[in-house]
Structure 1
Amino acid sequence: MTTYQKITPIANQILKKYDLCDHCLGRLFSKQLYLSSNKLLGKKLKKNLKSARRCYICKNLFDNLDYFLNMMLDAVYPYSYSSFSVGATIKPSIIDRDDAIRSKYKLKGIDGIKTDITKELGKLFSRKTKKTFDYLDPEIVFTVNLKEESCDIRSKSVALSGRYVKPVRGFSQKQKSCSNCSGKGCRICDFHGIIEYDSVEGEISQFLFKKLGGTTAKFTWIGGEDKSSLILGTGRPFFVKIQNPHKRSLRVKSANLEHVTVNNLKIVPDSPKKPLKFNSLVEAKISTSSKIDSNLLRKLKTLTKKPIVVYEKSGKRSEKKILSVKYKKQGDTSFTLFFKFEGGLPVKRFVTGDDVSPGVSQILGVLCKCIGFDFHDVEVK
């Protein structure tokens, strides 16, 4: 006896008691027969029987899937994507009726109705748009609420890397979060997490929102700087992840914004999971509490001989290397220090010697203060 012959009597028993549509009837047996079309199997099992006027399980929901397909097409219109997946919310009573029949007739190892609805919507959408259904890593995820007749959409975040040059002083690196949502995104900040755009983070975010759409922007900074510091040379590297973008490609590689210039912009697979190691080349302007001479400044060369120990208030201890040192005397009580060091060294504390050993003050035996510092280069190792 074939598998089909075995399941026919069970199908007939079910149909005597319940009116089922072709989709719901076929789904109960299609996996046993290794068939992909529930509808065609359902038709075959019914043979000469009339189609159900109203399906006991789904209440003819499958007849209305085109309505939800059009809802998906309308929702996805602003987005660029190549792959998608579908999730669904349906009435609990539909699931209960489906479970009851599967339990009563001991039908195991078959898809539930919710799975079947999402598969069918996926087939219809793929056929219409020529896009790929990707369950594991889709660029677009639909959540179709068949209960409330709505469709939500989320797109996979896009990560970018780039460098920024900041040729003006008095411009912060980081942007204050929206006070209402603490940066999570709300109606007040148009779901961006920030309201103002008066920082490096703000200007780059605003530019990317215009180019890619999206809600929030999450930055990974390769080091930081004072509000008064300049970022020169090739600029400071950064990574940014745009949540829920509309576009997935960026044609421009550079942009001159109001206060910063962005270069080397490109899409990358992801932002770094761990902090990247980097070196910074800094020019620091330093004042001293007493007169200094060139012979005294020569002592600064010893800074490259051993690691600089940095102590944090949390109790954490780290070591940073000074890779090169140059200096230029500017006056009796001032000089400029050009030095290259491992990222993470707090420049102002290094000069004063505040929980940093040895510091510039300690090496020179003179109380020193950093008036300001600029970055000439930041290189990722």
Structure 2
Amino acid sequence: MTTYQKIVPIANKILKKYDLCEHCLGRLFSKQLHLSSNKLLGKKLKRNSKSNQRCYICKNLFDNLNYFLKMMHDSASLYSFSSFSVGAIIKPSIVDRDDIIRSKFKLKGIDGIKTDITQELVKLFSKKTKKSFDYLDPEIVFTVNLKEETCAIRSKSLTLSGRYVKSLRGFPQKQKSCSNCSGKGCRICDFHGISEFDSVEGEISEFLFKKLGGTTAKFTWIGGEDKSSLILGTGRPFFVKIRNPHKRHLKISSANLKHVKVSNFKIVRESPKTPLKFNSLVEAKISASLKIDSKLLQKLKTLTENPVIVYEKSGKRTEKKIFSIKYKKQNDHLFTLFFKFEGGLPVKRFVAGDDVSPGISQILDISCKCLEFDFYDVEVK
């Protein structure tokens, strides 16, 4: 006796007591027969059954899947994607009725009703859109709520890298979070987490939201600067992760924004998991409390001989190297320092000698203050 011949009596027993649709009936036996279409098997098993009542398990839900398919298609209209996956939420009573039949007729190793609905939606959507199903790493994920008749969509985050040049003083690097949601995203800030766009972060975020869509932008900076600092040369590198983007391709690699210029824009796999090592080339304008002369400034050359120790309030201690140093006296109380150093050295504290040893003030034995400093190069190692 074949496997099919064995299951026919069981199917007939079920149909005598319960009215099932072709999908639900076929699903109860398709795995045993290694068949991919529950509906075709159900149709074959039901050919002698003439009942037209609603399915005991799904209440003919499969007949209405085109309604949810349209919902999926409409919600995806703003998104560009090549792969997708689907999750479904169904009434608990449907699952309960499915469990009753499986338990009563001792049917094991069968896909649940929820899995079948999900697979059917995948099949229908893939056929309609020619997009591929990807369970592990889809570009968009649908959550179809058949209970409340809604469809939510979420797209995979997109990470980009780039460099920015800032040639205007007084423009901050980082953007303040939305005061209402503290950066989480709410209706007031249009779910961006920031309500203004008056910083490097804000301008780049606004540009990317317009080009790619998305909710929040999370930046990974390669170093930081003062509000008054300029970023010159090839600019400062950064990474930015856009959550829930609508588009997945950025057609341009550079942009002249209101206060910053962005170049080398490209999509990357992910932001660095650990901080990147980098070197900075900086020009600092420094004022001295006492008269200085060129002979005294020569002492600064010794800074390249040993690492500079930086002490943090947390108790953390780091060593930073000064690779090269040049100076130019402007007047008796003002000089310019042009130096290359290991990323992470706090420039203003280094000049003042504030928990940085040795600092400029210590070397010269004169109280010094950094008035402003500009970056000419940020080189990632």
**1:112 shift after superposition:** 0.6
State whether residues 88 and 114 of structure 1, in contact with CA within 8 Å, keep that contact through their aligned partners in structure 2.
Answer: yes
| Alpha-carbon shift at residue 160 of structure 1 (Å) | 0.4
Which residue type is aligned with residue 80 of structure 2? S
Q: Partners of 2:327 and 2:26 in 1: how far apart?
A: 82
1:198 matched residue in structure 2: 198
> Take 1:179 and 1:3, find their aligned partners in 2: how far apart are those partners?
66
Residue 223 (structure 1) aligned with residue 223 (structure 2): yes
Say whether residues 1:9 and 2:9 are aligned partners. yes
For residue 315 of structure 2, what is the amino acid of its counterpart? Answer: G
Output the TM-score relative to the length of structure 1: 0.99
1:106-135 CA-to-partner distances (Å, cap 9, x unmatched) read 211111111110110000000000000001
Paired position in structure 2 for 1:162: 162
State the shift of 1:361 in Å: 1.0
Matches within 5 A, 1:259-298: 259-298=259-298
- 2:108 is paired with a residue of what secondary structure? coil
Question: Tell me, what secondary structure is at the counterpart of 1:376?
Answer: strand
Counterpart residue type for residue 119 of structure 2:
K
User: What letter is aligned with 2:165?
Assistant: V
What is the CA–CA distance in structure 1 between the aligned matches of 2:297 and 2:371, rounded to whole Å? Answer: 17
Task: Measure how far apart 1:48 and its partner are.
Answer: 2.0
Answer yes or no: is the 8 Å Cα contact 1:20–1:52 preserved in 2.
no
Give the partner amino acid of 2:322: I
Q: CA deviation at 1:29?
A: 0.9
For the residue of structure 2 that corresponds to 1:253, the secondary structure is coil
The one-letter code sitting in structure 2 at the alignment partner of 1:350 is F
Per-residue deviation, 1:324: 1.0
SS of the counterpart of 2:214?
coil
CA shift, 1:326, in A, is 1.0
Offset at residue 51 of structure 1 (A): 5.2
CA positional deviation for 1:140: 0.6
Q: Within the alignment, does 1:24 sit opposite 2:21 as a pair?
A: no
Q: Which residue is 2:99 aligned to?
A: 99
The alpha-carbon deviation at position 327 of structure 1 amounts to 0.9
Q: Which residue of 2 aligns with 1:178?
A: 178
- Counterpart amino acid of residue 171 in structure 1: F
Secondary structure of 1:151 counterpart: strand
Helix, strand or coil for the counterpart of 2:72?
helix
Q: What whole-Å deviation, never above 9, does each CA across 1:305-330 have from its counterpart, x for those lacking one?
A: 11111111111111111111111111
In the superposition, the TM-score normalised over structure 2's length comes to 0.99
Local SS of the residue matching 1:335: strand
Give the Cα separation in 1 of the matches to 2:256 and 2:277.
28
Task: Tell me the SS of whatever aligns to 1:287.
Answer: strand
Deviates more, 1:231-240 or 1:266-275: 266-275
TM-fit CA distance, 1:53? 2.1
How far has the Cα of 1:52 moved from its partner? 4.2
Alignment of 1:1-381 (within 5 A): 1-50=1-50, 52-381=52-381
Residues 100/297 of structure 1: CA separation in 2 closer, same or farther (3 Å cut): same
In structure 2, distance between residues paired with 1:193 and 1:99: 44
What one-letter code is carried by the residue in structure 2 that aligns with 1:287?
Answer: S
Report if the CA contact (8 A) 1:167-1:231 is conserved.
Answer: yes
Give 3-state SS (helix, strand or coil) of 2:69's partner: helix
Cα shift at 1:64:
0.5
How many corresponding residue pairs? 381
CA distance in 2, matches of 1:183, 1:380: 29
Distance in 2 of aligned mates of 1:86 and 1:40 = 23
Q: Percent identity?
A: 82
One-letter amino acid of the structure 1 residue matched with residue 20 of structure 2: L
What is the CA–CA distance in structure 2 between the aligned matches of 1:271 and 1:51, rounded to whole Å? 59
Once residues 240 and 16 of structure 1 are traced to their aligned partners in structure 2, the CA distance between those partners, rounded to angstroms, is 61
Q: CA deviation at 1:304?
A: 1.1
Distance (Å, rounded) in 2 between the aligned partners of 1:232 and 1:341:
16
Q: Secondary structure at the match of 1:195?
A: coil
Residue pair 1:170, 1:228 contacting (<8 A) in 2 also: yes
Distance of 1:194 and 1:102 partners within structure 2: 52
| Distance (Å, rounded) in 2 between the aligned partners of 1:51 and 1:71 | 31
Cα separation, 2, equivalents of 1:313 and 1:221: 22
- Measure the CA separation in 1 of the matches of 2:196 and 2:164: 19
Q: Give the secondary structure class of the aligned counterpart of 1:234.
A: strand
Shift of 1:334: 1.3
Whole-Å Cα distance in 2 between the matches of residues 334 and 261 of structure 1? 31
Q: Secondary structure at the match of 2:239?
A: strand
Unpaired stretches in structure 2, ≥5 consecutive residues: none
Q: Which moved more, 1:1-10 or 1:356-365?
A: 1-10
- Give the drift of 1:50: 2.1
Unaligned runs of 5+ in 1: none
Matches of 2:216 and 2:258, distance apart in 1: 21
Structure 2 Cα separation of the partners of residues 336 and 18 of structure 1:
89
